[in-house]
Amino acid sequence: MIDVNAFLFSVLVFSLIMNLGISLYGIFWRPSLVKKIIALTILGDTANVLAIVVGYRAWIAPNRPPIPPVLTTWKPTATDLSKFSSLAVDPLPQALVLTAVVIGLAVTVFLVFLTIQVYRLHGTTDVRKIAKLKG
């Protein structure tokens, strides 16, 4: 007997893994440096979503979803705290992804400046033509 929910969640996971493969193809085989940058951003984003998926947890009942890792009361009782920790998703991957997204943009911007500089010097962003240049 196949669990429909597990099937649908596995579709998500495997489509993300396929995205990793497609973006790696883009980085390695497409000739344009701009296309390589676009594929690199997709690779980074996909890795981030996979990290969040690892931190997700199953529903405890068909109508009780997990909650975000944010406590909504300032004066919690012991019951509130145990309910919170039994329902909330893992906050650690979220904290790591949070910084990774911003740093990823900064590094991408640096790559963009490098590509502009290559175009200024050689007049092309095609790696096949750049490889043939001498000097």
Partner 1 sequence: MISPETLVFGVLAALGLISMVATFMAVMERDLLKAVLFSAVQSTAYAFMFYILMAPDILLVYVPVAVGLYPAVILFLIKKTERFEGGEEE
Partner 2 sequence: MRRAYKYAVLVAMIVSTLALALAVSAGGLGYALPFPAVRNLAYWYLRTTYNPFMPKFTASAPEAVTAIVWDYRGLDTLFETSVFFLAIIASMALMRGIEVKAPKSINLSKYGMSAIVKTVTKITVAIILAASASIALHGQLTPGGGFQGGATAAVAPLVIIVIFSLYFAVSSGIKKKSMLTLRTLGLLGIGVTSFAVIVAGLILGKAAYVFQNQPKEAAPIGFPSHILGVPMGGTLLFFNIFEFLAVAAGFTIVFLLLSVPEESVRKVLEGGEGHD
Distance CA 46, CA 26 (A): 14
Q: Residue 122's binding partner, choosing from partner 2, partner 1, none, with beta-carbon cut-off 5 to 8 A by kind? A: none
**91 in Cβ contact with 69 (< 8 Å):** yes
The mark string for 5-44 relative to partner 1 (x by CB under 8 A, - otherwise) is x--xx-xxxxxx-xx--xx-xx---xxx-xx-xxx-xx--
Q: Shortest Cβ distance from residue 98 to partner 2 (Å)?
A: 6
Nearer to partner 2, 10 or 34 (CB): 10
For residue 45, give both structure tokens: 């984003």
**Orientation of helix 33-55 relative to helix 4-29, angle to 10°:** 150
**Out of 85, 102, 107, 132, the residue judged to bind partner 1 by CB under 8 A:** 102
Distance CA 20, CA 98 (A): 20
Q: Does 6 bind partner 2 (CB under 8 A)?
A: yes
First to last CA, the chain: 65
Of 135, 134, 124, 133, whose CA–CA distance to 31 is shortest?
124
Give the integer Cα–Cα distance in Å for 128 and 86: 55
Least distance CB 70 / partner 1 (angstroms): 7
Residues 66-95 binding partner 1 (CB under 8 A) are 66-70, 88-89, 94
Q: Is 18 in the site for partner 2 (CB under 8 A)?
A: yes
- The distance of closest approach from Cβ of residue 30 to partner 2 in the complex, given in angstroms and rounded to an integer, is 13
Q: Which of 47, 84, 108, 130 binds partner 1 (CB under 8 A)?
A: 108
